[in-house]
Amino acid sequence: MAAIPTLLPSHEFREALRRRGGDTASRCFQCATCSGVCELAPDEAPFPRRLMLLAQWGQAERLAADPAVWLCHQCNDCTVRCPRDAKPGDVVQAIRALVIEKLAFPGFLGRLVGAARASWPLLVGLPIAFWVALLAATGHLAIPVALPQHWAYEQLVPHVLIYSVFFPAAGWALLAAWVSGRRFWGLLAAGGPPVSFFGGVVPAVSEIATHKRFASCDAARPRRFGHLTLLWGFVGAAVTSGLLIVGIYVQHLAMPLALTHPYKVLGNVSAVLLVIGATVLVANRLGDGRKAGAATAFDNYFLTVVALVIVTGVLSEVARLALTPEFALAVYVVHLGLVLCLFLTFPYSKFAHMLYRSLTMVHQLGGAEASRS
């Protein structure tokens, strides 16, 4: 007779889930309404009912390896229709935050960002203070006396300083994301059928680019537009940054660029998309709580930093054109600090959804591709 496996609930996990806003999992009585109304749950492995049960039992390891944690887009159709008000969408959101913390490299940074309610001043303030100290030490906090009428930020903060900070920061973020992503991929692949990684990349990128799955949601359908505009605003801003490097060092373009220059147009269009996306998501967050989901410190931290990056970025451009250089430099330094904060916390904040959800979709679609071949 086969041995009956023993389940050992993790009380620590359940307590951590409670602190993150997932305490309503205890109300679930497994009626399966949530799985029945979810348009994203596959027939062969429906969710979030399974996730609610694992959360009640404190099965941290099984949750960390469950792709459903990331295939859930927090549509909140389940939360709106739950007869027990167990709020499955909020519970799964809390689970995602704990999985990010569990897979983080190094672990103490995951815990630091995970404790966003207490660590906000440190996470946001230190990068801004770093830039103030760096500019003071290199003599760039003062406005040059002979600043021309049409000046560029490079005349206040040399590009070499920006590159010396952001290239290492980006390298560190990529390293931490790579280690965490490898851990997660190993959990997904353990004991499962073979998966065609590259076979899943193209369809996954296509789905991410259009947010196709969001179109199946009901309660949170407006978030699709907000997420899409924010995504493409970030893509446009990244492409603009790359083009500016080419323009400065290859094309030897004079700065500042005219407002009609294609690079400037792309940057401004990207800024508009970012403003629209952030506005839609903030408005959604302030709306119907059942449809939008609970506002947790972890979630609010990321959304606030993104909003501040966008606001200070737009204000930096406006200040350069219409306000005093002193005010423009102050706004620009805050902007640089916030961007650095966003870079350094990428593998540990809600921004890590981009990593884990993308890998999950590649794994799911790559498995389908492998089964056909």
> How many CA atoms within 13 Å lie on the side-chain side of 244?
18
The single residue listed with the structure tokens 């290859």 is 250
pLDDT given at position 171: 95
Spans of the chain below 50 pLDDT: 1
pLDDT given at position 152: 86
Architecture of domain 11-103: Orthogonal Bundle (1.10)
pLDDT given at position 120: 86
Domain residue ranges in the chain: 11-103, 107-372
Residues 6+ apart with CB under 8 A from 258: 264
Closest CA to 51 of 37, 67, 40: 67
> How many CA atoms within 13 Å lie on the side-chain side of 80?
14
C-alpha gyration radius of the chain:
23
Closest CA to 145 of 155, 160, 157: 155
pLDDT given at position 73: 86
Distances (CA, A) of 362 to 98, 196, 214, 354: 22, 9, 17, 12
Number of residues assigned to the chain: 373
pLDDT given at position 166: 94
Q: Give dist(CA 370, CA 373) in Å, integer.
A: 5
The single residue listed with the structure tokens 């359908």 is 221
pLDDT given at position 257: 86
Q: Is residue 216 packed enough to be buried (19+ CB in 10 Å), middle (13-18) or exposed (0-12)?
A: middle
Q: Give dist(CA 340, CA 18) in Å, integer.
A: 31
CB 53 within 8 A of CB 91: no
Q: Give dist(CA 111, CA 373) in Å, integer.
A: 42
List the structure tokens of 81.
């229709």
Q: Give dist(CA 75, CA 292) in Å, integer.
A: 8
pLDDT given at position 1: 47
